Amino acid sequence: MLPRTPSFRLDGRRALVTGAGRGIGLALASAMAEAGAEVTLAARSVDEIEAGAKAIRDAGGLASAARLDVSDLPAVTEFFAERMAFDVLINNAGTNRPKPMQDVTEAEYDAVLNLNLKSAFFVAQGAARRLIAEGIAGSLIHIGSQMGHVGGPSRSLYCASKWALEGMSKAFALDLAGYNIRSNTIAPTFIETPMTKPFFADAAFKAAVLDKIKLGRLGTVEDLMGAALFLAADASALVTGTSLVVDGGWTAE
């Protein structure tokens, strides 16, 4: 008898996506719902996540919106205490303050590291604690960056946070393996979203980026949807403590 491909479906599972109001977060929430998961879209911007959840429902999916400021740690604790465990976490909320390292202020350092790393840590901890308490296997997916594998000019804060996220996820994988909870990152290249679009109006910047992306184009949110689905589903059941780099060849050189 031939072996059967493990499922890419998420029917009957619950997924939480942070920073889900737009761009990458909304796309990954849509991917989870399309695969059959019941998705909770979380962000500070209530109007955006409610609109996103409605769009998913209108497309036939299961989705709800939950206001959550992931930088408010007591609110994060309360959020997980009030809900059943999520089988899948997509730890997506993040920010950037691009500038040369010699110009970085303490406030900018705190803004980037607190959201990209500290908040990501405690959201993952909250999700993992619920999974452990309920005896459920799960998948923690952290949205990192190619800049968690290489350096970049004017990216000292972002690189610091994303390199740390990679190490954090590997350690999570070791701590949680005994509970059958997996932890991985997705490391995208530059993705064209409403937030990044203004940067690419600078022709010189766009040309420099495309020179590094060997496949010759910017990433789209669709490029990340399959990667997230793979890491969320049984298809990746033996994958933990690693990074799925979606960078068009940037880090291969």
Helix (H) or strand (E) holding 78: helix 73-81
Is the separation of the CB atoms in 69 and 75 below 8 Å?
yes
DSSP of 116-180, one letter per residue?
A: IIIIHHHHHHHHHHHHHHHT--EEEEEE--GGGTS--TTBHHHHHHHHHHHHHHHHHHHHHGGGT
- Taking the C-alpha atoms of residue 61 and residue 58, their distance in angstroms, rounded to an integer, is 7
For the CA atoms of the chain, what is the radius of gyration? Answer: 18
For the annotated catalytic residues, the residue numbers are 158
